[in-house]
Structure 1
């Protein structure tokens, strides 16, 4: 697990916001730009995973020496911050409509984002990179909730709840796809190979609630569809709860 916000704070913030840095004007022009480095990092992590995105491999993919990268970014910690924020900048946050429509749009965008960048789930943003991507997300969600009648504290808490649920659930959906791609085995085939567990080892008396839920059709045999249904139900329940709070306060 990588953690954002672990690099030099001044350098990370300067790079995230592309603040200009004084240069002497001497020497050769740079072979690569910071934006190209970030884009190459995203491509490498998307293809091979974040652990494989080393500075050496990244430099090789750009056709430059590793030290060239360090003239643009201090190290991998700062680069991960840049990559995370660049990924979040891909969200289309132009949707209008009711607050609920806007949150649902954000949720769908986040699911698609995690599908494109499955390594995002491997980066903890408890200490977030304070870049334009994540700030745009917060701005969009707070603006969407502004007309609900919630207090400022409730709107901030609701925003955090939405981000926590949607990001985690979207990462789980992406993990189903990633597991199948990496292993070459579908979820259905994986469960079929373990059918013997249910036939010979599972104790129905010990797990009566699971048994009853199975008999009543509570479990979808399609794992990806079950995960999508769980996402839809969880989001609907969360937004229904916010709606109830807004009506109470109103």
Structure 2
């Protein structure tokens, strides 16, 4: 699967598009004459997300979105300048779907429960939109969706009384673990759907590895764990184990603060 990168559009126009619904309203705007447009940017972004959900990210091209909306590709360019900006708009809108509690809004009382809420919402988001797993956000779409999640995690970690640097680092570590694991989970589910073959079936086809090629003397630890039934935990147990140990480590910093 080819990796796409967000954040590739021109900064000024991308920011204006991302924050289009968060500008202060003015009372001195004059009504415009003529026919009202039948298309707006929100419909364009919705169409791109729907195509990516149903057919994969490649389907959400400028021409593909234009066709889905029943307009010419050149018409679409009057709403979004390029595919780079469209990708950022799609990603940030999906990030905002998590609807994480903002300042002053009700949220779980325990900081761990707040992190688990972020975890649950993020994993559900990737399941709804598996194409997210093929997008690198090293240069993220700095829109409302991304910043809302960042504010939420920082506020959850801030109650621990750590230094500002530790609070930021803890939030970044949590984001890295949860987002990466959720992306891998979505990629796994997408692969099963696209190939029609379960992972268990894939491994079953390669059973000869253990019967013919596997050398127990060269892999004594693997063999010992196998004999002790140490490989029986499922993906969910592995994920929760890693997250809980990460939170244990962050919480242990309280005594050093």
TM-score range, shorter chain: over 0.9
In 1, the alpha carbon distance for the partners of 2:38 and 2:74 equals 12
User: What is residue 62 of structure 1 aligned with on the other side?
Assistant: 69
RMSD between aligned residues: 1.8
User: What is residue 233 of structure 1 aligned with on the other side?
Assistant: 241
Cα deviation code 1:181-234 (max 9, x no counterpart): 1111112111111111111112222222222221111213xxxx7322221111
Shift of 1:31: 3.0
| Alpha-carbon spacing, 1:33–1:200, altered in 2? closer, same or farther (3 Å) | same
Aligned residues between the structures:
244
User: What is residue 199 of structure 1 aligned with on the other side?
Assistant: 211
Shift of 1:23: 10
After TM superposition, the structure 1 = structure 2 runs for residues 160-239 of structure 1, keeping only pairs within 5 Å, are 160-220=172-232, 226-239=234-247
5+ residue gaps, structure 1, are: none
Shift of 1:26: 6.0
After TM superposition, the structure 1 = structure 2 runs for residues 116-195 of structure 1, keeping only pairs within 5 Å, are 116-195=128-207
Cα deviation code 1:110-164 (max 9, x no counterpart): 1101000111111111111110001000111111111101111100001110111
Aligned to 1:97, the other structure's residue is in SS state: coil
In 1, the alpha carbon distance for the partners of 2:30 and 2:237 equals 54
In 2, the alpha carbon distance for the partners of 1:208 and 1:53 equals 49
User: What is residue 85 of structure 2 aligned with on the other side?
Assistant: 78
| Alpha-carbon spacing, 1:114–1:23, altered in 2? closer, same or farther (3 Å) | farther
| Structure 1 position 37 matched with structure 2 position 25 | no
| Structure 1 position 242 matched with structure 2 position 250 | yes
Would the aligned equivalents of 1:173 and 1:228 in 2 still touch at CA under 8 Å?
Answer: no
Q: Which runs of 4+ in 1 moved over 2 A?
A: 22-31
Would the aligned equivalents of 1:31 and 1:64 in 2 still touch at CA under 8 Å?
Answer: no
Pick from 6, 9, 19 the counterpart of residue 7 of structure 1: 9
Shift of 1:24: 10
In 1, the alpha carbon distance for the partners of 2:30 and 2:171 equals 41
| Structure 1 position 87 matched with structure 2 position 94 | yes
Aligned to 1:210, the other structure's residue is in SS state: helix
Q: In terms of mean alpha carbon deviation, does 49-58 or 68-77 score higher?
A: 49-58
Q: In terms of mean alpha carbon deviation, does 150-159 or 86-95 score higher?
A: 86-95
Shift of 1:248: 2.3
| Alpha-carbon spacing, 1:172–1:142, altered in 2? closer, same or farther (3 Å) | same
Would the aligned equivalents of 1:41 and 1:53 in 2 still touch at CA under 8 Å?
Answer: yes
Shift of 1:28: 4.5
Would the aligned equivalents of 1:145 and 1:155 in 2 still touch at CA under 8 Å?
Answer: yes
